[in-house]
A and B are shown apart, each in its own frame.
Chain A
């Protein structure tokens, strides 16, 4: 029985090959927001998950603050959403202030496409805004 207990320890500390995340391009821009356009759509983004074999993974995205202009005006990042595919690995969602949001989960290497959308509102102050997103790929 003691040998069985010791047999678990090597499994818990085994060196597993890592996972890799590649998001391209590193910068995207919404088209100029004008008129009564209800939503602005950014160019598509490619998300490549590199995971050996059938290794499970989970991909989350976290917004670092709101969309902010050089003059200090802000657009809440809840106004930003995305559509993702292919499902079921990659899922649609919307940003939440400071809260990681699920982008996808699966097993093995996968390539997905994300497209971000910004709702247009008359309350937005004129200006150039930027927002940073952190994508985090995790695997046990």
Chain B
């Protein structure tokens, strides 16, 4: 009886030992390659490529600085570049504010300013035919912010319906 118990125990140990050892193996090595391309994508006003803001005439004594309508535009700048590369966003006004009726008039575009929110987005003032920095980041990423625009109001502004365009440029070297 005693000898039988020992034999059973030995058999069990042998079976367990054989079951846990993976005795044959083979290996292969695979190399995976990926290319991440340089890229810059800019959208303004909820995913659009264009936006329009309006400054409504106001009493300069009451409203020395006219807020735009809409009050702000959201901006999303996306870039893939080197990890230490400087990503920049600039805005260039394509001239002064111009009215043709009832008479030809201009308002200096520098009277249009903006404030900014969001990491890397910066405030400033429009400049005719000059790229003004309005955002800066380091490396790849998706950067989200807003700009709120203002027109300096005064009694010496000429009468008219004024318009002008400005171009935002995102650069990821």
Q: Report which A residues bind B (CB closer than 8 A).
A: 1, 4-5, 8, 11-12, 16, 18-23, 26-30, 32-36, 40, 42, 45, 58, 67, 69, 71-73, 75, 80, 116, 118, 122-140
- Judge whether A138 and B24 touch: CB under 8 Å: yes
Closest CB-CB distance, A98 to chain B, in whole Å? Answer: 16
- CB-based closest 3 A-B pairs: A138-B22, A23-B28, A122-B142
Chain B residue numbers with a CB within 8 Å of A20 are 26
The reply to whether B22 and A58 contact each other, CB–CB distance below 8 Å, is yes
* Number of A-B residue pairs with CB-CB distance less than 8 Å in the complex they form: 158
Query: Separation in Å of the B132 CB from the closest CB of chain A?
Result: 25
Known contacts A30-B32, A135-B28, then 7 further A-B pairs from the complex at CB < 8 Å, ordered by chain A residue: A11-B18, A16-B23, A23-B28, A28-B33, A122-B78, A139-B22, A140-B19
Listed by A's residue number, 25 A-B pairs whose Cβ atoms lie within 8 Å are A4-B11, A11-B18, A12-B14, A22-B28, A27-B32, A28-B33, A40-B34, A67-B34, A71-B83, A73-B82, A123-B141, A124-B36, A126-B37, A131-B31, A131-B34, A132-B30, A133-B31, A136-B26, A136-B27, A137-B27, A138-B22, A138-B25, A139-B25, A140-B22, A140-B24
Q: How far does the alpha carbon of A16 sit from the alpha carbon of B23 in the complex, in Å? A: 9
Say whether A45 contacts B30, CB under 8 Å: yes
